[in-house]
Amino acid sequence: MQRRQFIKGTAISSLGLITLPQFQFQDQEFSTEELMGKAELELFGEDINLREQAYEAFLKMKKAAYTAGFDIKMISSFRSFDRQKAIFERKFIRFTEEGLKPMEAIEKIVEYSTIPGTSRHHWGTDIDIIDGYPKSSGDVLVPEKFEDEGPFAPFKKWLDENSEKFGFYLVYTDNYFRRGFKYEPWHYSYAPLSIPMLKQFRKRNIFRLIQNEDFEGCEHFTTAFLKGYIHDNILDINPELL
C-alpha cells in the first residue's frame, strides 16, 4: 500500500445546513492514478481518511447526528488499489476453494465488492457508516440491521432526512429496477467531489484499464462480463450521483 498522509482536523465551530445547489463542485482534473486508488492522497482526519472538502462536510454531519442522538462510526472510507486487490483476491480464492467455478465466484464477489481500480472508495469521497451507540453482534454491514427493528434503523431514518444537506448521498439504493451492486444502506458519497470524479472516470477507457491489470481471477473476465460490470455496477447508481 502506498504511503498516505493523514491530517487530524480541528473541530468545526458552526453548523451550516446547506443544499446541493449551494455546494461548490470541484473543477480540477483528477489523474487516472487518483481515480484508480494508485496515487498518494492527502487524507484528513484520524480514522476518517477523506479528502479535505469531504472531511469538513463529514464533521458537520457527525455533529448534527450527535445532537440528534447518534454517534456516526466510520467503518470504511478511503481504500487503496492494493487494499481492494487483496479483498478481491481473498474472496476469489475462498469461493473457488468452496467449489464455485471462477465466473460464479466473480459474480458472487461483485454483489458487494468491486474490481480493483473501480471502487468509489479509491476517491476519498465515499464512506460506510453506522451508529456507534447500539450494540450489534456479527457483521454490521448487512441491510437488515438498517431496517424495521434493526439496531441502525433509527439512524438510517435520520440519514434519509438529513445526509443530503451535507452533500452525502446514498450510492446503491433499494430501487427494484437498479442492477449491479446490492442495496447498501450504509454507503454514502460526498457528491460535490464524487460527481466530477465519476464524470472524469467515465471519459477513460475503463474497459481497457481493467484489462491491463493483473490479479487473481482477472484472467477469467470476459468482454461481456466487463461491459456488463461497467454498465450495471459502476453506472447504475443513485441518479443524483451521475
47-100 pLDDT, tens digit per residue, is 999 999 999 999 999 999 999 999 999 999 999 999 999 999 999 999 999 999
Which pLDDT band, with edges at 50, 70 and 90, does 28 fall under?
A: confident
What 8-state DSSP symbol labels residue 78? -
Could you tell me the residue range of the domain that residue 18 belongs to? 5-241
The CATH number for 31's domain is: 3.30.1380.10
**Tally of structural domains, the chain:** 1
Query: For the whole model, what pTM was predicted?
Result: 0.90
